[in-house]
Amino acid sequence: MQNNKEIALLPIDNRPVSYLLPKQIADFAGINLNLPDRKKLGDLQNGSDLSYIDEWVNGLTSNSCLILSLDNWIYGGLVQSRKHSSSFETLKKRVSDLIKINKITKYGFSSIMRIPDYNNTDEEKDYWKKYGEKIHKWSKLMHMVGRGIKEEYKTHDELIEDWYQSTKGIPVEILTNYKSHRDTNFSINMLWQDSLHEKSFNYLIFSSDDSSKYGLNVIESEYLRNEIKKHRFESIAKVISGTDEIPLVLLTKAQLDITKLKPSISVNFTSIDGANQIARYESNTIRSSVLNQLEVLNIEITDPEKSDISLIVHLSDSTQGDHIFNLQPENTEKSVNNIINILKKSEKSFIIADLAYANGADPKLINSLINSEINWENCYGFSAWNTCSNTVGSALAIGINRWIAEKNNVFNKTAFKKCLLTRFLDDFAYQAEIRSLNKGEKEINDMMKKHVQKFSTLLRLDNISTRCRLPWNRSFEIEIEFVNVI
């Protein structure tokens, strides 16, 4: 049956994955989703219209359940959280304003500011163009020296000398500005956590965005975890890797809470060695990232024979490859063959999280799936984009919301196939096959036609045509619009 409870979502920004993917899920799952005007949300250059967002949130009724990006509420977006120049007092007032809104159930998520290892200012402050890599190295050495961690072939004293030299390589005023900015953002996160004493959120996530093994962001994550444990907030708060997938995870969590339905899931890591590898752009193992997502959803992990859905995690035996940097994982054929054999023998509903590579799907897996005789009606979800957590969270959101929709008799099969087709076109056709070629929109659209034909035939969708664009004028994300779906 259709649930009349409204879920309102304040996305991170106006990107397709932030705005359109939640809408696609809502469309096939019968979710009454309320989104703000996309034109009022932030992009790469400009922050969201905070006055509009205030009005939108305050206009929600008690029938609403609100999922909100706290980075958008506070700073005007994820990118703006890294670039803002607002005073702590100004930001603190916005925290207070949100806490006072207690007529609706709130699920919140806030990022722990990342420290990317490159010299580029697209999403960072201007000084990142020259000093980004140096700040990353300084942060890494700060962590290692403070914890007494040694690098291979170096003594602790040599590591301290490296840290000192890295400090000298960054102008004092830049390092001061950077440290002050981090301190401000971290203080805001501490205010969000403190607000749990007032039951401000039904659930609160701190996301470790684009992380690595060492750095100030890792220290901040550890501190927040310790505070959550100390104040016994484990049932309502968590620190996890990722960011972009978290609104999808919380949308799913809210739907589970509203409907009181919950599937059991079995987890099949196709490589034990691969599952124990540190995920690219994250600070913990692939296994930990997968289990953390399921823990947020409070999903029971059970045996394959007893589960409602099988989550298949495709891995190589090595560190993940990366399509962007042309890094190949160890041979994935064993994992691919294992998956095909499982799916051919079983009629169980399945979700595939393709983690052999970061930034796109494994071509060997996709080609084998296309040429196999598996029952595609049993495919409840697929994802393979960007980071491990991005992939797992979005795949679970698609699959679990389909399961809930079927139980409630509100499932829209055509809308679901449209969502699944988008993932194949984005995660494989674009991310794995086209993106590295650095093509413009016209060429991308021309190259996409054969993939649209191939995957729409696979999913039995007729009369499909698409229009693709690069909404932020960069290659990282693509927007796929279906011009005609019958």
CA dist., res. 16 & res. 13, Å (int): 9
pLDDT of residue 3: 59
Tokens for 260?
Answer: 């009181």
| Backbone angles phi and psi of 470, in degrees to 5 | -105, 95
SS3 374: coil
**CB 135, CB 154: distance < 8 Å:** no
Tokens for 203?
Answer: 């659930």
pLDDT of residue 486: 46
Fold entry, domain 6-116+173-255: Rossmann fold (3.40.50)
Per-residue model confidence as pLDDT tens digits over 374-403: 999 999 999 999 999 999 999 999 999 999
- Is the pLDDT at 112 greater than 60, yes or no? yes
CA dist., res. 446 & res. 451, Å (int): 10
The owner of tokens 């930034």 is 359
Work out the percent of the chain whose per-residue pLDDT is above 90.
91
pLDDT of residue 466: 96
Per-residue model confidence as pLDDT tens digits over 433-446: 999 999 999 999 99
Per-residue model confidence as pLDDT tens digits over 258-296: 999 999 999 999 999 999 999 999 988 999 999 999 999
Tokens for 209?
Answer: 């965005």
- Is the pLDDT at 372 greater than 50, yes or no? yes
Q: Which residues contact 23 (CB under 8 A, 6 or more apart)?
A: 33, 35
The mean pLDDT value for 199-226 works out to 93
DSSP string for residues in 44-63: SSS---HHHHHHHHHT--TT
- Is the pLDDT at 232 greater than 90, yes or no? yes
The owner of tokens 């939108």 is 56
CA dist., res. 414 & res. 422, Å (int): 12
182 Rama class: left (phi>0) / alpha (psi -120 to 50) / beta: alpha
**CB 324, CB 317: distance < 8 Å:** no
392, containing H or E segment: helix 388-407
Neighbours of 481 (CB within 10 A): 12
CA dist., res. 331 & res. 365, Å (int): 11
Q: Which residues contact 169 (CB under 8 A, 6 or more apart)?
A: 134, 138
List where CATH 3.40.50 sits in the chain.
6-116+173-255
pLDDT of residue 142: 93
Per-residue model confidence as pLDDT tens digits over 35-78: 999 999 999 999 999 999 999 999 999 999 999 999 999 999 99
Query: Residue 192's closest CA among 289, 77, 73?
Result: 73
Higher pLDDT, 259 or 213: 259
350, containing H or E segment: strand 349-354
**CB 478, CB 451: distance < 8 Å:** no
- State the first-to-last Cα distance of the chain, in angstroms, to the nearest integer: 25
| Backbone angles phi and psi of 11, in degrees to 5 | -70, 175
**Secondary structure (H, E, C), 104-162:** CEEEEEEEECCCCCCCCCCCCCCCHHHHHHHHHHHHHHHHHHHHCCCCCCCCHHHHHHH
pLDDT of residue 226: 97
- Is the pLDDT at 165 greater than 80, yes or no? yes
- Is the pLDDT at 329 greater than 90, yes or no? yes
